[in-house]
A and B are shown apart, each in its own frame.
Chain A
Amino acid sequence: MSGQTIHTTYRGAVRAAIRDALDRDERVFLMGEDVGRYGGCYAVSKGLYDDYGPERIRDTPLSECGFTGAGIGAAMGGMRPIVEIMTVNFSLLALDQIVNNAATLRHMSGGQLSVPVVIRMATGAGKQLAAQHSHSLEAWYAHVPGLKVAAPATLEDARGMLWSALEDPDPVVLFEHVMLYNREGDLAADAGPVPITGAAVRREGTDVSLITYGGCLFKTLDAAEALAADGISAEVIDLRSLRPLDDATVVASVAKTHRAVVIDEGWRTGSLAAEVSARIMEQAFWELDAPVGRVCSTEVPIPYPKHLEDAAVPQAPDIIAAAKTALAR
């Protein structure tokens, strides 16, 4: 480490990661709707078109199924595509290609084929975009064997996970929560790749484990801060990788705190929170002093008005309340 830092945003960190990948490997190209001339719907790829040109920063028509499938095919053909889908709701038009092709081809071909594609997309609520632009469907992708799924939440991960994902021989889906793009902070000037597997302990604590990922990480850290003021020491775990899940880090934390709450912007039924809590039950049942708590989105298509949108997704007070329930406080 040089010790030098740069002030940047999450958006800027993703952009730096794409730039870095384009520079490192000429097989890498970015493709998606309005990623080129327009600079990306969330401005992630702004400026890249001018520097790398239309071949490598490739605008596509509104054809999610077609261009995602083409990314999968190009990956099989020796390229290293980064496919950008504007938001997870639109990725449903490409779900067939991702689930039926990308995820199956290695196994179904008897191990002959490899699909080293990276699919990035925005996810989540918070911008009052209502029920066709705001959902968190990470769990659907994490359900599928053959895929790897990660959710960078910090600047370091936004900067570092893309290259690891591209080096991975399997298809990787990266989720970028819309409320993270504008987050600012300092990043080491020489920040480099970070693994796409493994959870991270973001705050150490002894009383309760708060387990989360993506857009909920900073709400959870805020909750932990507020809990500290009440004399409760919360440990915050950022799952980072949603498939595979890092059971060891979660179980080690629960073995220390004996209480856990999982915070997840997905809907409760069939959520990642459900999966994590089942694994804690399977692997650390005798460590628990209380049932595993869950803070998830209310089971409703995300509504437009701010007060209802806020009420529908996890907020710091909900997390604080769930932690206190786990502690019977």
Chain B
Amino acid sequence: MTDTQPTSGIPRAHKLHLSREHALHLLKEMLRIRAFEERCAELYTEEKIRGFLHLYSGEEAIAVGVMKALDATDAVVATYREHGHALARGLPMDRLMAEMYGKQDGVSRGRGGSMHLFDAKRRFYGGSAIVAGGIPLAVGLALADQMQDRAQVTACFFGEGAAAEGAFHESLNLAALWRLPVLFVCENNRYAMGTALERSESETDIARKAACYQIPSVALDGMDVIAIEAAAREAVTEIRAGGGPRFLECRTYRFRAHSMFDAQLYRDKAEVEAWKQKGPILRFRHWLEETGMLDAETAGRLDAEIEREIAAAVDFAESGDWEPVENLTCDVCTKA
């Protein structure tokens, strides 16, 4: 797959009517995620964050766009590359940062770290580090909603690498067969660790695979936050109305290594640079400037606000406590 254009775009009629306020909000959400990720990378080199760290830089438009289409009662299932989803879903940044550190004030009491962010109150179901492992869970959450007559949607995020796993295919079939309210969101960043899509899939058009299960599917420019929000809103409306699952393939690119252990020998720097020029923030920012929605003062204010939020989150994480060792076996099961 060498084309960068989605196979089918969204019809113009569905473009959002965009207020300045909403546009700036989208920009800020993406900037928050980028700044958080870049700070996490620094903290990793300082050994404050350990284990595996998978950053979302470059893919921000997807989490931000899709989350805007969801209600607070909808559910979200994500992967180990889920900091952006957690932030866009409204999990507090300070508690997310505490989780990165492994402190007990973290969203998962520090037990999960970067790959396992949870927030049951916000219906954020993680944080799964088994590729495709979250997809059946999303189907089940949607099944529970359907069986209890709740007009709720479950959004399920995963990479294109997951499309090779059996769990992907079994889950899509189940969701379609039972007309379950699932929004499948494939974040196709072209590489599963070091393996390029065309080296791992006989059919590289992921949206077409989903369509085989009779799931209405579209491929989108994953760098276009507006297109993603519009497509997600349309899909969520249809799902909520009982139309069964929908599938969005968002074509994107990860700007950073797969994880912090990756020397990236499988792609050349020029390719990464070219994609950075098409990045979701850069592009949206330019567009906002051109249309006069963003001026230098506003941009400066956004950056300053985000900087303060990040600094406060790092302080919170730094000053937090470690979970006492006596708690080691808490929560393994409920107490008998």
Contacts and interface: CB of A to CB of B under 8 A. Distances in A.
Interface in A9-47: 33-34, 37-39, 41
Contacts of B103: 305
Contacts of A325: none
Contact of A89 (B102, B130, B193, B199): B130
Contacts of A298: 328-329
A303 B192 contact: no
A60 to B, nearest CB: 8
B113 A130 contact: yes
A304 B195 contact: no
Given A93-B165, A127-B51, A311-B325, A34 B111 contact: no
B102 A38 contact: no
A313 to B, nearest CB: 11
Contacts of A133: 52, 129
Contacts of B102: 128, 304-306, 308
B193 A305 contact: no
Interface residues of B, number: 38
A61 B166 contact: no
A41 B259 CA distance: 11
A304 B164 contact: no
A308 B328 contact: yes
Given A61-B195, A62-B164, A299-B329, A304 B266 contact: no
Interface in B40-69: 50-52
A300 interface: yes
A63 B322 contact: no
A129 B166 contact: no
A34 B194 contact: yes
Interface in B149-208: 161-162, 164-167, 192-195, 199-201
Contact of B193 (A41, A299, A308): A41
B166 A34 contact: no
B318 to A, nearest CB: 14
B326 to A, nearest CB: 10
Interface string B224-268: 000000000000000000000000000000000000000001100
Interface of B is mostly: loop
Q: How large is the interface on A (under 10, 10 to 19, 20 to 34, 35 or more residues)?
A: 35 or more
Contacts of B129: 130, 132-133
A194 interface: no
B111 A308 contact: yes
A65 B164 contact: no
Contact of A65 (B133, B166, B328): B166
Nearest to A133: B129
Contacts of A305: 102-103, 110-111, 113, 322-323
A35 B129 CA distance: 20
Given A61-B164, A63-B165, A305-B110, A132 B50 contact: no
A90 interface: yes
Contacts of B323: 303, 305, 308
A185 interface: no
Given A61-B164, A300-B332, 19 more contacts: A33-B193, A34-B195, A37-B199, A38-B265, A39-B265, A59-B200, A61-B195, A127-B51, A128-B51, A128-B113, A130-B116, A130-B129, A131-B111, A131-B116, A303-B111, A305-B102, A305-B323, A308-B325, A311-B325
4 closest pairs, A vs B, by CB? A38-B194, A305-B102, A304-B113, A61-B164
19 contacts: A33-B193, A34-B194, A38-B265, A61-B161, A62-B131, A64-B165, A93-B166, A128-B102, A129-B52, A129-B115, A130-B51, A132-B116, A133-B129, A305-B322, A305-B323, A307-B322, A307-B325, A308-B102, A308-B325
